[in-house]
Amino acid sequence: MPEIRRLPEALVNRIAAGEVVERPASALKELVENAIDAGAHRIDVKLIGGGLERLEVTDDGCGMSPEQMALAMERHATSKLPYEAIEQVATLGFRGEALPSIASVARFELESRPHDAKQGWRLVVDHGDVAESGPVGLPPGTRARVENLFGKVPARRKFLRTERSEYGACHDVIRRLAMARPDVAFSFTHGDRQIFRLPAGQQLPDRVAQIVARELKDNGVEIVAEREAMRLTGVAGLPTYNRGVADHQYLFVNGRPVKDRLLIGAVRGAYSDMLARDRHAVLALFLEIPGEDVDVNVHPAKTEVRFRDAKGVRGFIVSGLRQALATGDRRSAQSPDAAAMGRWQLEPAAALSSIFTGRDWNRPSTGVREASQEWRSYEADVMTAPEAHDMALPQGRAEVAQPADAEAADYPLGIARGQVAETYIVAEANDGLVLVDQHAAHERLVLERLKAAGAEEAVARAQALLIPDVVELDEADCDRLESSIEPLARLGLVMERFGPGAMLVRSVPHALAGADPAKLLQDIADDIAKHGEALLLGEKLDLVLATMACHGSVRAGRVLSVAEMNALLREMERTPRSGQCNHGRPTWVKLSMDDVEKLFGRH
């Protein structure tokens, strides 16, 4: 029988380090979290070689004495759990594993000085062995430096990615932590290049916009929602301001950056009828919840959490997001395409350039007849010029508008002035020119009417199968579906367990009567595995409603009277989420008068 023995302390630390320190970004996360927990008001981060060569974190926090520094190098030694109630942890770190784990797989230099000490102390640990220890001069606070990560662990070193990839991961970590604490100043430098410098005391929307995208400030809404002991804040992008990937969704629980599938599913559910399936919202959400209602001790990396009332948390986030979007959802992303604007300005000039060349337009005419002849000659030149095909022929129409109401100044979308290409409504507002896609706008209006009339319940009405269908699945998928039988039944999908690896389907939603039950159940099981809840069926029913709305709306190419145009504009101003169609595209755009005047060189 093989002998059972205790592993050496150095080997134990390296094994533990594999859970905490996977790459330079993992070490950076732990060091910055320690700086935040130390009460720092300023944190400076420096990288060399994407963190593969060196990473350094300097803060002005409380600092440590030499005795505390030596104790911090031992496993499970921490100052962040004064009591044994781990569910009440209020700090980012609490395990006491980060520093010894980092020091066991890298050359780790720790310099620290408490605010009441006359000098600091320096401790160097090289892959688990103490190399240096002694006094050092530095301002109050702490400086931690990591070099040659996994230098003596080649099996781990070869799994690290390129310098660019490791830098990207570090950049993402520092962005998330800086976003969570707008009261702390951050600076981030890579090599000789400063990536960003953020001042302390910023407002949350300003900090988020500066880190994520400056356009988010103009194309997002601020979120403030409360329910019992839970509070939700942050910034959510308008549905028309979206991305093709979900890497611009930043989620925080009690100030801790997390990547939780329940929160991701809640975001997806909130935007379900406002975005196409291949588009993703841009947002930063900060959830505050009592410590006893959330478990942060799920994984050593502390990026996963578990909620005591997962369904209540998800419902709170979905309702909070939808209420916030309802305050700004009549807007759409107001960032006209630069290339389109450039063509609008330049193409006519290019098309006319050859016509104007060689003609002396400043020569005085001899009379009205000559002027008239010159104008007719100019018109003929325009219509026969080689460049004439680049100029669109007039395709619009306009009616004599009725006198504007006295309250016209109060209409955000202005007063209709005409219709272009029998598709786009042109309206004049006090602050600019408004273009409305009549089909996209009416599609959203019809969908909201259907929902208000209870069409969701009608779509979800169950259609009983003449012969119940037995669908064979993996046992794990059957377990997932069995746990969601009741909520799925409310959506019209009635089923029951039929042995270890099969489900018996008795009815499907009326609107999905032609769907393949086997494929439907497999998709829903995969959805539950990914998001923790069956969102897919609800989205399918939303898609049915959206299709009904699309077919029941005003089509492009239909001629509208000015009265019909104005009625559409007024209803858009009253209807929630009218700023985007059911697929996340904008229903209207506005060109400010300043931009119009710039097109004609007035500014």
Structure-model confidence comparison of residues 431 and 309, the more confident one: 309
- Is 194 in the same domain as 233? no
Note the pLDDT of residue 122: 95
Task: Encode pLDDT of 391-409 as tens digits.
Answer: 444 444 555 555 555 455 5
How many domains is the chain built from?
Answer: 3
- Is 18 in the same domain as 147? yes
- Is 117 in the same domain as 212? no
Note the pLDDT of residue 559: 78
Report the C-alpha gap between 356 and 38 in whole angstroms.
71
Note the pLDDT of residue 220: 86
Question: In this structure, are residues 157 and 150 in contact, taking their beta carbons and an 8 Å threshold?
Answer: yes
Residue 138 confidence (pLDDT) above 50: yes
Question: In this structure, are residues 371 and 411 in contact, taking their beta carbons and an 8 Å threshold?
Answer: no
- Containing structural domain, residue 82: 9-198
Residue 364 lies inside a defined structural domain of this protein: no
- Is 141 in the same domain as 215? no
Structure tokens at 516: 């393949």
- Is 216 in the same domain as 177? no
Report the C-alpha gap between 415 and 566 in whole angstroms.
6
Note the pLDDT of residue 352: 37
Question: In this structure, are residues 545 and 429 in contact, taking their beta carbons and an 8 Å threshold?
Answer: no
- Is 116 in the same domain as 231? no
Per-residue three-class SS string for 435-464 = EEEHHHHHHHHHHHHHHHCCHHHHHCCEEE
Residue 365 confidence (pLDDT) above 90: no
Note the pLDDT of residue 296: 82
- Is 159 in the same domain as 20? yes
Could you give the C-alpha distances from 212 to 155, 178, 250, 465, 567, in angstroms and in order?
A: 35, 11, 9, 49, 38
Nearest to 61 by CA among 85, 82, 90, 31: 31
Task: Encode pLDDT of 211-249 as tens digits.
Answer: 988 888 888 889 999 998 999 999 998 887 888 788 889
Residue 120 lies inside a defined structural domain of this protein: yes
Residue 451 confidence (pLDDT) above 90: no
- Give the chain's mean pLDDT: 78
Question: In this structure, are residues 325 and 318 in contact, taking their beta carbons and an 8 Å threshold?
Answer: no
| pLDDT, mean of residues 548-563 | 67
| pLDDT, mean of residues 494-521 | 83
Report the C-alpha gap between 11 and 255 in whole angstroms.
33
Nearest to 298 by CA among 262, 324, 273: 262
| pLDDT, mean of residues 111-127 | 93
- β partners of residue 226: 231
Note the pLDDT of residue 327: 67
Note the pLDDT of residue 366: 44
The helix (run of H) or strand (run of E) holding residue 262 is helix 261-270
Residue 355 lies inside a defined structural domain of this protein: no
Residue 344 lies inside a defined structural domain of this protein: no
Note the pLDDT of residue 357: 43
| pLDDT, mean of residues 264-275 | 83
Q: Is the dihedral of CA 520, 526, 527, 533 positive or negative?
A: positive
Report the C-alpha gap between 8 and 216 in whole angstroms.
52
- Is 214 in the same domain as 191? no
CATH number of the domain enclosing 295: 3.30.230.10
Residue 308 confidence (pLDDT) above 60: yes
Note the pLDDT of residue 531: 63
Note the pLDDT of residue 372: 46
- Which of 198, 220, 247 is the last residue before a domain boundary? 198
- Which of 148, 178, 198 is the last residue before a domain boundary? 198
Contacts of 450 (CB under 8 A, 6+ apart): 456, 545, 548, 549
pTM over 0.75: no
Mean pLDDT is lowest, of 144-158, 198-212, 394-408, 450-464, for 394-408
> CB atoms < 10 A from the CB of 10, how many?
12
Cα Rg, the chain, nearest whole Å: 31
Note the pLDDT of residue 289: 92
Residue 78 confidence (pLDDT) above 90: no
Per-residue pLDDT band for 374 (boundaries 50, 70, 90) equals: very low
Instruction: Name, of 174-178, 375-379, 452-456, 551-555, the range with top average pLDDT.
Output: 174-178
% of the chain exceeding 70 in pLDDT: 74
| pLDDT, mean of residues 14-19 | 66
Residue 373 lies inside a defined structural domain of this protein: no
Residue 491, SS3?
A: coil
Residue 499 lies inside a defined structural domain of this protein: yes
Structure-model confidence comparison of residues 470 and 384, the more confident one: 470
Nearest to 419 by CA among 437, 405, 404, 403: 437
CATH number of the domain enclosing 519: 3.30.1540.20
Note the pLDDT of residue 549: 59
- Is 73 in the same domain as 186? yes
- Is 537 in the same domain as 426? yes
Using CB atoms within 10 Å of the CB of residue 184, give its burial: 0 to 12 exposed, 13 to 18 middle, 19+ buried.
Answer: buried
Backbone phi and psi for residue 335, each to the nearest 5 degrees, phi listed first: -130, 80
Mean pLDDT is lowest, of 132-136, 159-163, 558-562, for 558-562
Task: Encode pLDDT of 336-362 as tens digits.
Answer: 555 555 545 443 433 334 433 444 444
Residue 143 lies inside a defined structural domain of this protein: yes
Residue 385 confidence (pLDDT) above 50: no
> CB atoms < 10 A from the CB of 499, how many?
11
| pLDDT, mean of residues 428-449 | 80
- β partners of residue 232: 225, 287
Question: In this structure, are residues 301 and 26 in contact, taking their beta carbons and an 8 Å threshold?
Answer: yes
- Is 444 in the same domain as 568? yes
Mean pLDDT is lowest, of 319-323, 348-352, 486-490, for 348-352
- Is 162 in the same domain as 252? no
Residue 377 lies inside a defined structural domain of this protein: no
Structure-model confidence comparison of residues 368 and 192, the more confident one: 192
Residue 580 DSSP code: B
- Which of 311, 328, 345 is the last residue before a domain boundary? 328
Note the pLDDT of residue 64: 93
Note the pLDDT of residue 151: 84
Mean pLDDT is lowest, of 68-77, 396-405, 406-415, 459-468, for 396-405
